[in-house]
Structure 1
Amino acid sequence: MLLDMQNICKSFYGMKALDGVNFHLRSGEVHALIGGNGAGKSTLAKMISGYHQPDEGTIAIEGEQVLVRSPIEAHRLGVSMIYQDPVLIQDLTIADNIFLGSEPRLLGFLVNRRKMNKDAKHLMKSLGVFHQPATPVRRLSLSEQQAVAIAKAVSKRTRILIMDEPTTGLTVLERERLFGLLRLFRKEGIGIVYITHQLDELHQLCDRITILRDGKHVITRELKGLTENEIVDLILGKELKRIFPQVRHTVGEELLHVKGLTRNPWFRNVHFQLHEGEILGFAGLTGSGRTELVKSLFGEMKRDSGEVYWKGKNVHFRSPREAIQHQFGFVHRNRLTKDLFPDMEISQNLTISSLKQLHRWQFLLREQEQDTALDAILQLNIQIQGPDQKVKHLSGGNQQKAALGKWWVAGADLYMLEEPTQGIDVGAKSEMYATIHTLVQEGKGMIIISSDFSELLRLCTRILVMREGCIVDEMTSDEASEERIVRSASGIYCGQDPSL
């Protein structure tokens, strides 16, 4: 047994995060660690990697009992942890990040930069990334930064690799490349703890599964023979009837009409329409221009040319403020840094875009603010302890609902959502999909950018695929398939000539 954790208990502020949890990892296996938000997955992982120490219980690595007091001590024991957002120093080079703290040296004190760059280049090449070692990390895509974090772990002769939501924000092709690397590590005898909310990944990669719920161990078993529905039931402790609502096929009047929208070098000559009650999905690989296009619609990015018609009127937003005044709402991928104020109350976050309606003679109507926020909390089923609870203490799913709720309170008629279910569990996803469905039933327009193509397939009325800044394919929900999306996004097949 590579890793043996027995009866692990951990409390924070009197609340039990882990209660008598057992976890075992074998050499050369990928072990899925699964559970809902707040189940204790990340806390258990941080016990292994030295960020937390257990209140009770024991940890043994290869039969020897250890007390992992810090991440540095974890590295010495051969334990590395990779987060969904790689912890890298953006202004340092690829080589500097990989060997930070363990640089090869000449005469015991001079950094051997030539060897460091050579080794970094070899490591990155083995991971399918061919940038020069002197390239600053900030110039890399998310998937390339993920590769740097993996190279850093491999360089430290890792025996136990913990990955927390590693495929968040990655495209299908980038995920496949990551899976190939993990299979290679498995062959080399590395034990991998794999934390994810993407249940469709499990049977592609994992050998065994451990499920936690409310800080307690539910089950550990071989993954083979366990269906996705059974996993969902074990995570929730109840049967979930439906994850995705039925795709809408009937739509109303045209809300948005985009003609020839261009912003070099990100996107060019983009045309599309959106109707009332329609869910329009945007698919594409990293760098395809999807996010930049939506930022342009929201006034966050200037356009070079083209026209945007909103409810039949030509509009040109020079700032998000102008977009908000026309009932546009945009929920970013990084909700805590872009959309919400973590240290403010939930009620204040929900009303932050509607303060003009909640003021009288320059004074905030606090009681009216609380009533307005409570309406949103009830409508969107945001699970809170009270309207004065701080957003940073909400689960990921409830934070996402709060980010969406801000625009519901503001009376948005167009919702643009970037990676709407990133980092939230299957139960919270189901609730988010139901909320999206409710909004479009009220005649709202919905644009969704997602790297999860299966999510787009089962949620959207139509899907547009972008590649190199152009829309290269358009398909209805009846015509769409994951294979067609992947082919269009990668240039193997195009339903539309991008030069048009």
Structure 2
Amino acid sequence: MRLHMKGISKSFYGVQVLGDIDFELLPGEVHALVGENGAGKSTLAKIISGVHRPDEGYMIVNGKPSTAHSTIDSQRMGISMIYQESFLVPEMSIAENVFLGSELRWLGLFSNMIKMKRETKSILRSLGMPLHPSTKIKDLSASEHHIVAIAKALSHKANILVMDEPTAALSDSERLRLFDMIRRFKEEGVGIVYITHRLKEIFEICDRVTVLRDGKKVLTKHVSDLTEKVLVRSMVGRELTQVYPPLSVPTGRELLRVDGLTRKPWFESVDFTLCEGEILGITGLAGSGTEGLAKTIFGEAKPDKGKVYWQKQPVRLTTPRQAIDTGFGYVNRDRIESGLFMEMNVYHNLTIAGLKKIHRHALVQEQQEYGKAIDAMIQLDIKARDPEQEIKFLSGGNQQKVMLGKWLVAESDLYILDEPTRGIDVASKSELYVLLHELVREGKGIIVISSDMSELIGLCNRVLVMHEGRLVDEMTHEQATQERILQAASGIRG
């Protein structure tokens, strides 16, 4: 099935986010759509999938003008979208979520749960995920959530798939399984629009690439005719000479110590230290316990045993409020579930964690609050119409920046960053890495939990690897290699 878009323009609240875009997708093609945060990628994808309607321009699907006014219309035309965030119902089962809105029925009347479970099991098996179709969504990990979202899109048997950051929450092994499936789709003639900030994936899986910058198309080329350097320059409009800044030298003064920390079934007997001037990386495959460890240190979960020391003093953190008062900040990998207040505006999201610091006689100093929000927006280059824009209207990458920005406003002393660059473009990543190094030079503590091995190797002074809830390896920056990290994460002894 062929997709052709011509002259597509779209504005929100008087701000143009897409201007005169032409885009083509051929049958059996993986066409990458890339650009900086706020470039218009997700908006164009949502026009394809029927979420938005263009202000100008038109779309032709398989030689016929598209009349899709909703996602249901698009699905009937054979178009399905896998969103960057998995919009699933926690209390429902995997099978119920996969077929939500398109339930299989007996005689057109009664829900055929047996068949839905059977088809869900088959799709999950093809994705390499042996999950039971009756499992509740609330009992799944973040990466498993994303796998179910992919399964939901595949259940529609689409001829055109739109994938918005499909590997952002996946481990390397899950990513490779997804790529195998994409190759099978190509052989079957399925066209795929592939949105990603992981540029190496473009050269691994995509045929052509279109670059958007500030809502305009600046490039469409075959991947074989491009280099990563040329692609980055097209995205950012300038030469990006260095992604990772030089490492700071740790002073050796202890900031944080975790001693025998246990929270079953997530992790057990975890010991490590974080020194002043150091960026500490922690990684592991899905289910290794990294996310649970972050939540426990931040007080979102109570440990079964073990202690946490901050500046050599024991701290007992049983609530996030206590952690914030101690000076801890936590960027959660799931910005919608527990990171941001989506109905609030940008500046309230930025300042909500630091209100105690901009507070006098129980009265919020609104002018000071607004000023600090502006400072954070400038520092992180958060692209928004203005500070009072509701955060739900920002791009995913800019929402991610707001999550970090609220801890800058709160003047945190320890930053626990779980997948902090998820959904962030390469230029913004580089700026974020510089900021993290500036923070450690100011004496702040930083823990980066990441599934991106190149990020860990380029950014961190030390890397800790977890496997099945235990720390299994520790390596310095000089010792860290992708092979060693992956071996340890997989439980393979060197």
The corresponding residue for 1:108 is 108
Q: Does structure 1 retain, via aligned residues, the 8 Å contact 2:9–2:20?
A: yes
The corresponding residue for 2:363 is 363
**CA distance in structure 2 between the partners assigned to 1:203 and 1:389 by the alignment:** 36
Asked if 1:122 is matched to 2:145, the reply is no
The corresponding residue for 1:189 is 189
The corresponding residue for 1:70 is 70
The corresponding residue for 2:439 is 439
Q: How big is the shift at 1:371? A: 4.6
Q: For residues 334-373 of structure 1, what are the structure 2 equivalents within 5 Å?
A: 334-335=334-335, 337-373=337-373
Q: How big is the shift at 1:327? A: 1.8
Which AA in structure 2 matches 1:68?
A: A
Which AA in structure 2 matches 1:62?
A: N
Q: How big is the shift at 1:47? A: 1.5
Q: How big is the shift at 1:143? A: 3.5
**CA distance in structure 2 between the partners assigned to 1:48 and 1:485 by the alignment:** 39
The corresponding residue for 1:12 is 12
The corresponding residue for 1:295 is 295
Between 1:411-420 and 1:359-368, the stretch displaced more is 359-368
Which AA in structure 1 matches 2:238?
A: K
**CA distance in structure 2 between the partners assigned to 1:270 and 1:14 by the alignment:** 52
Which AA in structure 2 matches 1:245?
A: P
Change (3 A) 1:109 1:436: same
Q: Deviations over 1:36-67 (max 9, x none)?
A: 12211111111211112222222112222222
**CA distance in structure 2 between the partners assigned to 1:391 and 1:226 by the alignment:** 35
Aligned alpha-carbon RMSD (Å) = 2.3
Q: Does structure 2 retain, via aligned residues, the 8 Å contact 1:252–1:443?
A: no
Q: How big is the shift at 1:339? A: 4.0
- The gaps in structure 2 that reach 5 residues or longer are none
Which AA in structure 2 matches 1:297?
A: I
Q: Deviations over 1:172-192 (max 9, x none)?
A: 111111111111111111111
The corresponding residue for 1:419 is 419
**CA distance in structure 2 between the partners assigned to 1:95 and 1:161 by the alignment:** 20
Which AA in structure 1 matches 2:301?
A: M
Q: Does structure 2 retain, via aligned residues, the 8 Å contact 1:36–1:425?
A: yes
**Which structure would you say has the larger Rg?**
1
The corresponding residue for 2:39 is 39
The SS at the match of 2:225 is coil
Q: How big is the shift at 1:3? A: 1.0
**CA distance in structure 1 between the partners assigned to 2:385 and 2:87 by the alignment:** 32
Asked if 1:332 is matched to 2:332, the reply is yes
Which AA in structure 2 matches 1:421?
A: T
Change (3 A) 1:310 1:78: same
Asked if 1:467 is matched to 2:467, the reply is yes
Between 1:449-458 and 1:362-371, the stretch displaced more is 362-371
The corresponding residue for 1:23 is 23
Q: How big is the shift at 1:163? A: 0.4
The corresponding residue for 2:257 is 257
Q: How big is the shift at 1:304? A: 1.4
Q: For residues 258-277 of structure 1, what are the structure 2 equivalents within 5 Å?
A: 258-277=258-277
Q: Does structure 2 retain, via aligned residues, the 8 Å contact 1:53–1:67?
A: no
Which AA in structure 1 matches 2:118?
A: K
**CA distance in structure 1 between the partners assigned to 2:228 and 2:123 by the alignment:** 35
**CA distance in structure 2 between the partners assigned to 1:77 and 1:348 by the alignment:** 41
Change (3 A) 1:52 1:352: closer
Which AA in structure 1 matches 2:338?
A: K
Q: Does structure 2 retain, via aligned residues, the 8 Å contact 1:124–1:130?
A: yes
Between 1:420-429 and 1:93-102, the stretch displaced more is 93-102
The SS at the match of 1:116 is helix
Change (3 A) 1:68 1:451: same
**CA distance in structure 2 between the partners assigned to 1:311 and 1:366 by the alignment:** 33
The SS at the match of 1:404 is helix
**CA distance in structure 2 between the partners assigned to 1:419 and 1:328 by the alignment:** 17
Between 1:383-392 and 1:159-168, the stretch displaced more is 383-392
Count of aligned pairs between the two proteins: 494
Q: How big is the shift at 1:453? A: 1.6
Q: How big is the shift at 1:389? A: 5.1
The SS at the match of 1:474 is strand
Q: Could you tell me the TM-score, scaled by structure 1's length? A: 0.92
**CA distance in structure 2 between the partners assigned to 1:124 and 1:20 by the alignment:** 39
The SS at the match of 2:129 is coil
**CA distance in structure 2 between the partners assigned to 1:480 and 1:384 by the alignment:** 38
Which AA in structure 2 matches 1:444?
A: K
The SS at the match of 1:283 is strand
The SS at the match of 2:60 is strand
Q: Does structure 1 retain, via aligned residues, the 8 Å contact 2:38–2:394?
A: no
Which AA in structure 1 matches 2:56?
A: E
The corresponding residue for 1:498 is none
**CA distance in structure 2 between the partners assigned to 1:221 and 1:67 by the alignment:** 29
Q: How big is the shift at 1:343? A: 4.5
Q: Deviations over 1:76-121 (max 9, x none)?
A: 1111001122233333333333333444433332333333333332
- The gaps in structure 1 that reach 5 residues or longer are 495-500
Asked if 1:54 is matched to 2:87, the reply is no
Q: How big is the shift at 1:194? A: 0.3
Q: Deviations over 1:336-395 (max 9, x none)?
A: 553444454544444433333433332223344345445555555555665555544555
Q: Does structure 1 retain, via aligned residues, the 8 Å contact 2:32–2:195?
A: yes
The corresponding residue for 1:497 is none
**CA distance in structure 2 between the partners assigned to 1:153 and 1:473 by the alignment:** 37
Q: For residues 222-241 of structure 1, what are the structure 2 equivalents within 5 Å?
A: 222-241=222-241
**CA distance in structure 2 between the partners assigned to 1:134 and 1:336 by the alignment:** 24
Which AA in structure 2 matches 1:295?
A: K
Which AA in structure 2 matches 1:84?
A: Q
Q: Does structure 2 retain, via aligned residues, the 8 Å contact 1:397–1:429?
A: no
Which AA in structure 1 matches 2:94?
A: I
Change (3 A) 1:95 1:360: closer
Asked if 1:281 is matched to 2:263, the reply is no
Between 1:385-394 and 1:333-342, the stretch displaced more is 385-394
**CA distance in structure 1 between the partners assigned to 2:122 and 2:393 by the alignment:** 42
The corresponding residue for 1:199 is 199
Which AA in structure 2 matches 1:329?
A: G
**CA distance in structure 2 between the partners assigned to 1:371 and 1:122 by the alignment:** 54
Q: Deviations over 1:410-464 (max 9, x none)?
A: 3322111111111121222111111111101112111011121211111001000
Which AA in structure 2 matches 1:408?
A: L
**CA distance in structure 1 between the partners assigned to 2:419 and 2:239 by the alignment:** 26
The corresponding residue for 1:168 is 168
